Amino acid sequence: MSVADAYTLPVDVLLARYGLRLPDGWRDDPDALIDGDQFACLLHGVSEFIKQGGTSAQSMLLEAFPLTIHGYVGLAAMTASTLQQAMEIGTRYFHHVMPAFDTNFVIDGDTCVINVDPVSDFGDYNGLLAETTLCAVNSILPFSDLGYDDLTVTLQHDRLTMTGFASFYPGVTVAMGSAHNTLAFPAAALATPLRTGNAATFGMIEAELARRETLLTNRQTLIYRVFMIIKEHLTAGVKANAQSTAAALHLSLRTFNRRLSEEGTSFKVIREQCRFDLAAQLLTHSNKPMVVISTELGFANESSFSRYIKDQTGLSPMQFRKRSRP
């Protein structure tokens, strides 16, 4: 709607221009969803808008992104008590507004690194998505003591889509053509309180996000739901098995296995994919020793972890780490 106002066009005319078909009642339904094809149409419209409008259009997009598109996730982050609590709830629920990326953050020594890993390929629009996703952190920064000059950004693409990035975020160090999309800052800043922190408001918004998570989960495939349960277990150092995962989904083991088979996979395949994804994430984005990573992921010892990575990638864990780093 903001883009339509800038073009001085009726919203319906702009939607037709880009081939967007939004669900009935989308203006009044914050839970309305669109599919991947429609999301690609939306990206085309936004990309054209910022190209034609230059830095002023880019500024409008970045100013609107955290609060209007970010919605409850942005408000939850802003009302958190500390920057760490804001990072935790922001990365936990970011898929509500940007399912094309898996977001997480890790503490690596004295540095906090936010990782924005693409899970979908939108071709020429990948750069735009990565930049706006990392810029979402800007909804929190003005209310903390963390300055722009404390930030380091790495982006996978070779040139900025947001050509005015440096003027929007003065002092930020940006490295292009990197192996990953990340935003890093001193880990000590995580403990600093947010000036907009409000425990009561945060609690209400967190409850609403949990409710919406339930609604989204009910709309997602069984494969995705199983993947997220396994990931949660592995991250917490808990072994995941088919029986406990089926119970978490309120399914009998027989029904659970049958439905996964109908979707063309099995619990073992999903678990191995999840374990490899977490292993790759830890090897790439942290300096944790191999023995620590192997223990966290449930391997019997460091040797079995090394054999696993070798079988999956053809590289030793150390070789994989070196090759994956920027």
The CATH number linked to 285 is 1.10.10.60
Q: What is the mean pLDDT of residues 61-71?
A: 51
Domain finish residue from 174, 191, 208: 191
Same domain (yes/no): 224, 179: no
Same domain (yes/no): 38, 105: yes
pLDDT at 229 over 80: yes
How many Cβ atoms are within 10 Å of 28's Cβ, its own excluded?
A: 6
Give tens-digit pLDDT for 21-38: 666 666 666 555 555 566
Between these two residues, 144 and 43, which has the higher pLDDT value? Answer: 144
pLDDT at 182 over 80: yes
Same domain (yes/no): 249, 187: no
Q: What is the pLDDT of residue 61?
A: 64
User: Residue 81: pLDDT band by 50, 70, 90 thresholds?
Assistant: very high
Same domain (yes/no): 183, 225: no
Q: What is the mean pLDDT of residues 235-264?
A: 86
The DSSP code for 188 is G
Question: In this structure, is residue 209 part of a structural domain?
Answer: no
Domain finish residue from 191, 210, 238: 191
pLDDT at 82 over 90: yes
Q: What is the pLDDT of residue 242?
A: 92
Q: What is the mean pLDDT of residues 140-166?
A: 84
Same domain (yes/no): 69, 187: yes
Q: What is the mean pLDDT of residues 82-109?
A: 84
CA 229, CA 248: separation in Å to the nearest integer? 8
Nearest CA to 186 among 134, 115, 110, 114?
A: 110
Same domain (yes/no): 272, 233: yes
Percent of the chain with pLDDT over 70: 80
Q: How many domains does the chain have?
A: 2
CA 86, CA 143: separation in Å to the nearest integer? 11
Its pTM surpasses 0.75: no
Q: What is the pLDDT of residue 320?
A: 83
Same domain (yes/no): 55, 164: yes
Question: In this structure, is residue 99 part of a structural domain?
Answer: yes
The angle subtended at Cα 302 by Cα 300 and Cα 308, nearest 5°, is: 80
Contacts of 87 (CB under 8 A, 6+ apart): 77, 105, 112, 114, 190
Question: In this structure, is residue 113 part of a structural domain?
Answer: yes
Give tens-digit pLDDT for 280-315: 878 877 888 898 888 888 888 899 999 998 888 888
| Helix axes 267-285 and 222-235, enclosed angle (nearest 10) | 50
Same domain (yes/no): 184, 51: yes
Question: In this structure, is residue 196 part of a structural domain?
Answer: no
Same domain (yes/no): 19, 134: yes
- For residue 318, give its domain range: 220-324
Q: Are 90 and 116 in contact (CB under 8 A)?
A: no
* Domain CATH for 95: 3.90.1520
Across the chain, mean pLDDT equals 80
Between these two residues, 41 and 150, which has the higher pLDDT value? Answer: 150
Q: What is the pLDDT of residue 172?
A: 85
Question: In this structure, is residue 200 part of a structural domain?
Answer: no
Same domain (yes/no): 167, 242: no
Question: In this structure, is residue 204 part of a structural domain?
Answer: no
Q: What is the pLDDT of residue 6?
A: 66
